[in-house]
């Protein structure tokens, strides 16, 4: 697996094809091709790739190591906000009334709780989702980690 702080990132670009099956039960099979891209020193950049299967252009956002670190810190702060929001809701339900402090917690933490979905998505997507993302309408394409050499 490519090191997370490396300047070159390797992954696989998949092109989805629908497999024939009973109506409502179609499955998608992904044909993948490996690729490597250079990471920027800071921030993010957009790279153009060409799908090896359909020959269509695909835009890819590549994040630098500092940008990934900022995303992780942001996600951690969102998780803290979600915990505060949960505590404020719980104490409000327990007491049956709402104080100014609880209202302030609810207001501030509500916006952080919305962002907690991002934390869940990036956790489910693994490390690859923090570094590489498809941009815009990517059609039937999806990113996969590089094949292991085991």
Query: Distance between CA atoms of 65 and 38, rounded to whole angstroms?
Result: 12
Q: Which residues pair with 10 in a beta bridge?
A: 36
For 40-78, letters b (16+ CB in 10 Å) and e give: beeebbebebebebeeeebebebbbbebbeebeeebeeb
Considering the entire predicted model, what is its pTM?
Answer: 0.57
Top-confidence range, 10-19, 68-77, 89-98:
10-19
CA distances for 10 relative to 24, 34, 50, 100, 148, angstroms: 35, 7, 15, 51, 11
What is the 8-class DSSP label of residue 125? H
Quick one: pLDDT at residue 111? Answer: 67
Quick one: pLDDT at residue 2? Answer: 47
Find out whether 93 and 85 touch, Cβ atoms under 8 Å.
no
Query: Distance between CA atoms of 128 and 1, rounded to whole angstroms?
Result: 10
Quick one: pLDDT at residue 1? Answer: 38
Backbone angles phi, psi at 147, to 5 degrees: -70, 140
């Amino acid at each position: 697996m490519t090191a997370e702080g490396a300047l070159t990132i390797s992954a696989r670009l998949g092109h989805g094809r629908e497999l024939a099956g009973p109506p409502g039960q179609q499955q998608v099979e992904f044909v993948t091709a490996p690729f490597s891209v250079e990471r920027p020193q800071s921030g993010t950049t957009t790279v153009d790739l060409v799908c090896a299967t359909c020959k269509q252009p695909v835009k890819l956002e590549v994040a630098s190591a500092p940008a990934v670190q900022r995303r992780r810190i942001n996600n951690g702060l969102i998780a803290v906000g979600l915990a505060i929001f949960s505590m404020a809701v719980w104490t409000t339900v327990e007491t049956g009334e709402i104080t100014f402090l609880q209202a302030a917690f609810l207001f501030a933490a509500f916006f952080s709780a919305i962002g907690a979905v991002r934390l869940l998505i990036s956790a489910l997507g693994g490390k690859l989702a923090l570094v590489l993302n498809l941009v815009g309408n990517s059609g039937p394409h999806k990113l996969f980690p590089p094949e292991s050499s085991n």
